[in-house]
Amino acid sequence: MSLQERIDQTIRNVPDFPKPGIQFKDITPILEDPKLSEEVVAAFAQFWKGKVDAIAGVESRGFLFGFPLAMQLNVPFILIRKKGKLPYQTVSYKYDLEYGSAEIEMHVGAVKDGMNVLIHDDLLATGGTAGAAAELIKKEGGKVAGFSFLVELEFLKGADKLSSYSDVVQRIVSY
C-alpha cells in the first residue's frame, strides 16, 4: 500500500466537529503509529531538502511534523501561535477560518532578512491560516519558499488563496 493510502486509512473522520456540517480530519491516529509518522516526516524532508532556510509551523498541529522536519533538514523552526501565547515581542495578523476567525503571532526577530521560509501545517482548508502565516513571514522580511501540508481539503480551494505567495504547495493527501 502507498503512503497516501495508509495515511488515508489511518485518518479518522469525525462528523460535525467542532460545528454541525464540518467533517473533521483527525490525524491523531497517525501520531499513535511511530513508523508511519517517521515516513510522513521523510516524505516532507525529501521534497524540501536543500530548498529552505527555516520552517514556520502553525499552532498547534503544525508543530507535530514541522519541528521533526526542521531537525531533519537541520534548519531553524519558528513557532506561529494563536494570539497571546508567545512571551516576547510579536507581530500579528487576523484571518478567517473554515469555522470562525483567529489571530496569529510570531516572535519579532525569528525570521532573518531574506530568509527562505517554508510554511508548514497539518491541514489546508480555506487557506486563511497559511495565508496569514505568509503575511507574517513577509512582514518580517522573509521570503515564502512554499507550503507543505499533510492533508488538503481540495474542495475549499485553499491553494488558490496561497498562489499569490508561492506556487509550491506540497500536500501528501487531498480530499
Ligand X SMILES: Nc1ncnc2[nH]cnc12
Q: Which residues bind ligand PRP (CB under 6 A)?
A: 58-62, 97-98, 121-130, 158
3 binds ligand X (CB under 6 A): no
Sign of CA dihedral 45, 68, 28, 131: negative
Cell 503512503 sits at which residue? Answer: 3
Q: Indicate the residue among 23 and 174 with the shorter CB distance to ligand X.
A: 23
Q: Say whether residue 11 binds ligand X (CB under 6 A).
A: no
What is the contact mask toward ligand X in residues 127 to 156, using x (rule: CB under 6 A)? --------------------------x---
31 contributes a contact to ligand X by CB under 6 A: no
CA 85 – CA 107 distance, rounded (Å): 10
The pair phi, psi for residue 59, each rounded to 5°, is -55, 145
* Active-site entry in 12, 39, 61, 171: 61
Q: Stretches 2-10, 18-26, 44-52, 101-109: which one binds ligand X (CB under 6 A)?
A: 18-26
Of residues 174, 172, 136, the one with CA closest to residue 44: 172
Choosing among ligand PRP, ligand X, none, which partner's interface includes residue 135 (Cβ < 5 to 8 Å by kind)? none
Is 61 catalytic? The answer is yes
Backbone torsion region of residue 109, taken as left when φ is above 0, otherwise alpha when ψ lies between -120 and 50, otherwise beta: left
Of 24 and 47, which CB lies nearer to ligand PRP in the complex structure? 24
In angstroms, give the least distance from the CB of 16 to ligand X. 11
* Shortest Å distance, C-beta 82 to ligand PRP: 7
Assess whether 103 carries a catalytic annotation.
no
**133: nearest Cα among 69, 56, 76, 62:** 56
Angle between helices 3-10 and 34-48 (to 10 degrees): 130
Q: Give the range of 16-24, 38-46, 65-73, 159-167 binding ligand X by CB under 6 A.
A: 16-24
What are the φ/ψ torsions at residue 131 (nearest 5 degrees)?
-65, -40
| Residues recognised as catalytic | 61, 98
